Structure formats: structure tokens, C-alpha cells
Amino acid sequence: ADDGYRLWLKYDLIKDVAKREEYARSFQFIAVSNQSPILMNAAQELQVGLQGLLGKSVPIITDLGKKTGGVYLNEHQGFSNHIKYGDEGYMMSKSGNIFILANKGVGVLYGTFALLRHIQTGQLLTKLPYNSIPKIRYRLLNHWDNTNGTIERGYAGGTLWKWYELPATVDPRYHDYARANASIGINGTVVNNVNASARFLTDEYIQKVAALANVFRDYGIRVYLSVYFPAPKTIGGLKTADPLDPDVRKWWTDKTKEIYKAIPDFGGFLVKANSEGEPGPQDYGRTHADGANMLAEALAPYDGIVMWRAFVYKADPKADRFKAAHEEFTPLDGKFDKKVIVQVKNGPIDFQPREPFSPLFGNMPKTPLSMEFQITQEYTGFATHWVYEAPIFKECLESDTYINGKGSTVASVIDGSLHKYTMTAIAGVANTGSDRNWTGNPMAQANWYAYGRLAWDHTLSSEAIANEWVKMTLTSEPKAVKTITDLMLKSREIYVDYNTPIGLSRPWSGVHFAPEPWQEKSARPDWTAIYYHRADSIGLGFDRTATGSDALAQYRPEVQKQWNNPETCPLPYLLWFHHVPWTKKLSSGRTLWNELCTRFYTGADSVKWMQQQWAQVKPAIDPEIFADVTGRLATQHTEAIWWRDSWILYLQTYSKQPIPAPFQKPD
């Protein structure tokens, strides 16, 4: 039985003997151009992969000579003078041998995983030549992991990092983590929570993190740390953490030096400051730029960067949280050091199942902006609900900001092409944990996978990624592949329908799981449900047009035009921007109330459809995974009904309307 540990790197034997033999003819040996650790990792991965896929042990050799019929992993600086492959791009070709060529070992490693993917997905080697260059330079996972072993918003067990055992004991699982990431092109990992403990900057923890870095390095992955801004006070014994104070600056400079001594390829710092109660430069009357530039100065002698998060909003129930990041950050455009990237969540609020793109994208032309996506399913059903996230990511990346006219997509902002940034980055909040299968729900592995693939090449389609993931991870039986891919592609829309349809924003509750639309009190005045959904006797939704908060004014006129008229605003965004009367007829022909009920009911009902579809693929799926997902889908169905009912019964106290007749039947 398959416990899910091997992810998409399963390398199960190809069942079709003829196909196996055909492949085998091209894999009589694996030759390497040198024996650096990274090239040897590539060669060994290929060896393990071929052993599994072809059932054949293929020798690794160090001298190609005149031999043909094998693979040559060739690290060759300057191999191409036509195309700029950079440090990470690779080329694959076939003539006599299969050649994987790259300027650096890590490029060869990526090419090797791509070759394996070719075979795993049953593609013909005649599809070569093939080349690939990442569109974004820093492709990171952000782990919200704490010193005590917990993960903030983690639903797959505790942290992977065994702090108590490190640095002396190095769990072999760290290698597998690195392999999985390298296979999808992830080249950096922030190991600790952005709500950071200062302990990560103590010598004790630097040594632990260095032990992880020692494993990750030979898979092309650099480690980064989230920093606690007042660390100079808490662990440095200084009286202040004012970023303009010379002693504070010296403290960071010395600390950074200490880190680089232990981790020579350290990637840099990620900072959450003056955000949700975390301290920051504003505590000293300084700006985000002052804080970020101080860290950039400390990193100046090294190849490291600062990723400064723009996730800020005030505890003000009268303000519109939607507008906060744009208000605070756009005035700072041009004030950041060249080592600083400002990291922006995809949407203006917070990883909701559907949000419009953040209006910061495109509006800071002098500052590199990076994208922060959330892979872990904080608002998309934790580990029980099956939600394939590639469509969420793509929807944002493909949104047009119109900053420099039509075609100024969010993707073109973050890949640097629009404003000519060379420093480009993307981050995904990880969904991994200590669960044997890494992500709790086996289907959530696809979200980790899809994030990595899109970070490398955002032009890939959600469908293509789903298709290859299914083939590599679950089955190659064509009908089952089709059924599961289809399920994946519909899963997000189904979730939105029973969770937050028509642009409804998700009410807060403690753990961010069930909607509790009735919630009126919380730790902060803006953390109530009513703040977000704005239900009243007239209607529902947040007016963000000129008659309301006017958040729409933060977008270009072309974008405003799409959203600012309630008659023409696409339904998925309607309640994000408009307070709509219950009885208003929508473009669907139904009233708001009837449309809401229709979505909630068909959404919950569609989970039943998901269960039926899944039942059909049983013969093609490993029994352990099949049973696991079957159980989760049952829970998902129950919970979808809860969510539907809690919303509808609550909203009905305002709408005073009956549930439409077709839905007045037992489930």
C-alpha cells in the first residue's frame, strides 16, 4: 500500500513492457561531467528513478568517452551563446545520447527531474530538444513553523524540523524534503514563522538551521530566516531596536556576519513588522523602508536579500482593511534599498477563497514586488476539503493591472518584465508537516506541486499541472486521470460556492475554519464577521465604490470599469465591491437571495458529485490513498452542509426570504 510519503517521486514500474523496453534502450548508463555533490545527487536520483520506472539498474559512469545509448549530465559554463540559460536553466537534447546541459550543477539537477517527469508522464523522448529557464529568480516556501514544534495554520502535523535533535541528528526526511522541492524548482526555504521568535537568531538556533542548510545546499536550496524585529533588545541586550540607532545597526551587521559564518550561502531575511501586533520600525517613528534598509545594509557584503511583507492593516473598524497596504506602501516606492523585495499577498485582505488581486501590484514601479500565495489551506478547508489551488494562483497571476496599458498582468509585475526588475521572487506558505504523507490530505500534495511548477513557469495551465501530477502520483490509467483532473479543476469553484459565493468575504472566527457569520465580538474591532460581510436589512456586501470606502480608486480606470458597476460586475466579485439589495435581480436572472441559496445548495451538493466521481476511480488508485480520500470527502460533504446552513440561516434573519422551493428537500 502507498502511504503517500513518496509524493510525485514514486517511480512505480511502467506497466507497458514494450514502452519500458523502448525507454531502456536510451538509458544504458548515466554519465556525469563532474562529481560535485549536486551532480551526484542528480545522477543518483535518475538512477533511483530508472530503477523504479524501468526495473533496470543503470550504472553511473564518470567518463562518457565515445559511448552512446545513455544519458550525459553535463555541467558546462557557457554551453550556449544564443540563449541566456543563467544559473538555473537547462537544455535537453537527444542524439546518440540524451544530453542534459546547463551552466551550473543545479540546472543539470532541474533538467534531470524534468527528464524523469517526461518518463513518469509517459512522454516520448522524441519530444526533445526541450529547454527551460525559470521566469522568477527566488522561488521560496515560507514555513510558519515555531520553536515548540507547532505550525501556525499547519494542518498536517507538527513541524518537519526537529529542533530538539538538531544539529547533531539530521533526519533523513530533510533529504526527501529537498528532493521534492528541487524536483519542482523551489530554490529557497524560510524555515520559521513570520510571527518570529528571536531565538532563531541565537547561536543555538543558527547552528540548527545551518545543519538544515547543509542538506538543502546540494539540492540548490538556500535557507532564509524570519526575523523578530526587536531582537537587538530581546536577545542583544540593547535598550532599543530603532533602525536608525547606530548600535542597533551594528548589532544586525554583527549578527548577519555570524549567520554567514555558519551558513555561507544564507539567503536572507523575511520580515513581518507592524502587522497584526508584531513590533516594527513604526514603534520608533520610522518607516518600513527604514527597517528594511537597515537589514539590507547588514546584508550588503553578502549575496542575501530582505523580503519585507506588506501585510499591514490597522485595528480600525471604520477603515477598509482592503486599502491599508496600498496606503502604507505606495508612498515608500523608490525608498527601498536595492536588496529589498516587498512581499505582497495575492489579495488585499487575506488568502480568501477568492479575492481580487492586490492593488499594490503595479503600483510600486520602483520597488521589486514578490507574490505571497498560501498553499496551506487556512481558508480553504484545512486538510479535509479537497481544493486544488492552481486556479486560485493563476487567476491572480493572469489578472490585468492595466498599469502600462492592456496586458500588464500581475505575472508581468512579479516576473520583472513589466518594470524591468531583475530581482524577482515568489513565496508559498507551505502546507507540509510531520504527517507521513506530508500534507495531511493526499490531494493537497498537488498544491505544493502546482505552486512550485508555477513559480518556475507561470504560463503553465492548471490543467496541464494537474494532469502531470495525477500521472506521477496516483495513476496513469487514462480514464481515471481524466476523472481526477476534472475533479481537481472544479474543486475550487465548488468550495467557493458553499463557502463564500458571489464575492462574499469570509467571516472571521478563532481558527478560521467554519464560517460564523453571526460573530460580533473578537479580540479586535475589525476581526468580526459583520465587518467583512456587511449584512443588513437592505442587503449584503461591502461597498467599495465611491459611495463606500472607494477602495476601487486604488486600481486603474480600466480595472475599476470591470468592477464598479453593480449591473455589470462579474458575479464572482460582486459582493467584494457592492452592497447589493436582497431582492435585486442579478445577471443570472435570479435575485441576490435566490442566487446565494442556489450557490450554497449546488456547492454542497457538488461535494456529493465529487464523492461519486472519486468512487469511480477506485480500481485505478492505491487502496490506502483511496480510503483516505474517501473519508475526507465524507467529512467535506458534512461540513459543506454545515457551512451552507449556517450562512443561509443567518442571512435569512436579514433577508426575510424563504429558501427557494427546489432546495426545500432533505439532503
The site for ligand GCW (CB under 6 A) is made up of 144, 152-153, 194-195, 272, 276, 311, 350, 512
Dihedrals phi, psi of 278, to nearest 5 degrees? -70, 140
Cβ-based nearer residue to ligand GCW, 523 or 627: 523
Cβ-based nearer residue to ligand GCW, 219 or 311: 311
Distance of CA 312 to the CA centre of its chain: 20
Cβ-based nearer residue to ligand GCW, 181 or 352: 352
Instruction: Please list, in sequence order, all residues whose beta carbon lies within 8 angstroms of the beta carbon of residue 618, skipping any fewer than 6 positions away.
Output: 626
Is 350 a catalytic site residue?
yes
User: What CA–CA distance (Å, rounded) separates 575 from 555?
Assistant: 17
Cβ-based nearer residue to ligand GCW, 144 or 593: 144
Question: In whole angstroms, how close is the CB of 278 to ligand GCW at the nearest point?
Answer: 8
Cβ-based nearer residue to ligand GCW, 152 or 245: 152
Distance of CA 265 to the CA centre of its chain: 23
The H-or-E segment that residue 534 falls in is none
Question: In whole angstroms, how close is the CB of 199 to ligand GCW at the nearest point?
Answer: 17
Question: In whole angstroms, how close is the CB of 351 to ligand GCW at the nearest point?
Answer: 6
- Going by their DSSP bridges, the two strands 138-142 and 130-132 should be labelled as unpaired
Of the candidates 75, 350, 468, 543, the residue annotated as catalytic is 350
The residue at minimum Cβ distance from ligand GCW is 350
Cβ-based nearer residue to ligand GCW, 144 or 402: 144
Distance of CA 532 to CAs 380, 509, 612, Å? Answer: 17, 12, 35
**Residues in a beta bridge with 31:** 61, 72
Residue 611 is placed in which grid cell?
Answer: 464523492
Give the side-chain half-sphere CA count within 13 A for 660.
Answer: 15
Distance of CA 77 to the CA centre of its chain: 32
Other CB atoms within 10 A of residue 638 CB: 14
Question: In whole angstroms, how close is the CB of 275 to ligand GCW at the nearest point?
Answer: 6
- 16-34 in b/e burial notation, b at 16+ Cβ within 10 A? eeeebeebbeebbbbbbbe
Question: In whole angstroms, how close is the CB of 193 to ligand GCW at the nearest point?
Answer: 6
Question: In whole angstroms, how close is the CB of 151 to ligand GCW at the nearest point?
Answer: 10
Distance of CA 349 to the CA centre of its chain: 16
Residue with cell 510558519: 144
Cβ-based nearer residue to ligand GCW, 272 or 637: 272
Residue with cell 502535523: 157
Of the candidates 355, 378, 395, 497, the residue annotated as catalytic is 378
Of the candidates 16, 21, 247, 276, the residue annotated as catalytic is 276
User: What CA–CA distance (Å, rounded) separates 118 from 559?
Assistant: 40
Dihedrals phi, psi of 60, to nearest 5 degrees? -95, 130
**Residues in a beta bridge with 73:** 32, 100
**Is 157:440 a contact under the CB 8 Å cutoff?**
yes
User: What CA–CA distance (Å, rounded) separates 88 from 187?
Assistant: 10
Cβ-based nearer residue to ligand GCW, 301 or 510: 510
Cβ-based nearer residue to ligand GCW, 312 or 629: 312
Question: In whole angstroms, how close is the CB of 276 to ligand GCW at the nearest point?
Answer: 6
Cβ-based nearer residue to ligand GCW, 147 or 594: 147
Helix axes 478-499, 592-616, angle to 10 degrees: 150
Residue 343 is placed in which grid cell?
Answer: 512581499
Other CB atoms within 10 A of residue 254 CB: 12
**Is 372:346 a contact under the CB 8 Å cutoff?**
yes
Question: In whole angstroms, how close is the CB of 233 to ligand GCW at the nearest point?
Answer: 21
Question: In whole angstroms, how close is the CB of 429 to ligand GCW at the nearest point?
Answer: 7
User: What CA–CA distance (Å, rounded) separates 491 from 495?
Assistant: 6
Taking phi over 0 as left and psi of -120 to 50 as alpha, with beta for the rest, 541 belongs to left
Give DSSP secondary structure letters for 29-71: -EEES---HHHHHHHHHHHHHHHHHHS----EES--TT--SSE
Looking at 382-520, list the stretches that DSSP marks H as alpha helix, in order from N- to C-terminal side.
Answer: 390-397, 410-414, 445-456, 462-473, 478-499
User: What CA–CA distance (Å, rounded) separates 153 from 168?
Assistant: 28
Distance of CA 21 to CAs 27, 28, 58, 70, 95, Å? Answer: 10, 11, 13, 14, 18
Question: In whole angstroms, how close is the CB of 453 to ligand GCW at the nearest point?
Answer: 23
Cβ-based nearer residue to ligand GCW, 152 or 176: 152
Cβ-based nearer residue to ligand GCW, 325 or 455: 325
Helix (H, G, I), strand (E, B) or coil at 142: strand
Question: In whole angstroms, how close is the CB of 385 to ligand GCW at the nearest point?
Answer: 17
Question: In whole angstroms, how close is the CB of 636 to ligand GCW at the nearest point?
Answer: 21
Is 516 a catalytic site residue?
no
Catalytic residues: 276, 350, 378
